[in-house]
């Protein structure tokens, strides 16, 4: 179930950055972040990489005014030993599927001029994600996210976070 939630719901939501960058005239900034961030994170040591991943995720989730306590609580429960890694991963996947991604889509669709284009791109990327994501997720799980391919994919996720934070800071979106 974990792979399907990731492949069908969570992974495709990041693709909305393309149309948002077009609408906000930030294609250059988005491209730069998506180009440089993944290659930067590949060369970080494991501890620093995980620290940045968790820190950026918490910053990103903090934008949800009424639900930001949920991922913070999941992280604190994991680090205090109340829940193990697999349970924490399951809980954060549910949070991403049921709260974060729908909220992201709401924010996008309530402010975009290109709803049909967004829907088309999301449909296509969801179809592609369903096909290619499960083997990639298996790869990341086998290598515990510590190899360069896994870190590159994590860098893409962090690029999405950095770009959305850039938009919030410069008030170009939302």
d(CA 116, CA 125): 14
Specify the pLDDT at position 1.
63
Find tokens 């934008």 and name the residue. Answer: 63
Q: Is the pLDDT of residue 63 over 90?
A: no
Mean predicted confidence (pLDDT) in 22-38: 93
pTM: 0.85
The domains of the chain are located at 2-169
CA nearest to 73, candidates 99, 112, 103? 99
What percent of the chain has pLDDT above 70?
A: 97
pLDDT beyond 80 at 4? no
Is residue 173 scored above 70 in pLDDT? no
Asked whether the CA dihedral 14, 19, 20, 22 is positive or negative, the reply is positive
Looking at every residue in the chain, the average pLDDT score rounds to: 86
CB neighbour list of residue 151: distance below 8 Å, 6 or more residues apart:
38, 41, 42, 44, 49, 145
Q: Flag whether pLDDT at 65 surpasses 60.
A: yes
């Amino acid at each position: 179930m974990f792979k399907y939630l990731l492949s069908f719901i969570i992974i495709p939501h990041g693709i909305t950055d393309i149309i948002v960058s077009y609408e906000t005239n930030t294609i250059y900034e988005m491209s730069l972040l998506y180009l440089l961030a993944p290659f930067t994170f590949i060369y970080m040591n494991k501890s620093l990489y995980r620290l940045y991943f968790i820190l950026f995720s918490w910053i990103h989730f903090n934008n949800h005014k009424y639900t930001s306590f949920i991922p913070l609580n999941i992280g604190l429960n994991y680090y205090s030993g109340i829940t193990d890694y697999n349970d924490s991963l399951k809980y954060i996947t549910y949070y991403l599927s049921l709260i974060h991604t729908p909220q992201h889509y709401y924010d996008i669709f309530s402010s975009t001029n290109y709803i049909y284009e967004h829907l088309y791109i999301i449909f296509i990327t969801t179809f592609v994600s369903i096909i290619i994501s499960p083997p990639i997720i298996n790869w990341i799980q086998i290598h515990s996210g510590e190899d360069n391919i896994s870190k590159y994919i994590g860098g893409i996720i962090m690029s999405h976070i950095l770009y959305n934070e850039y938009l919030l800071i410069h008030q170009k979106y939302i």
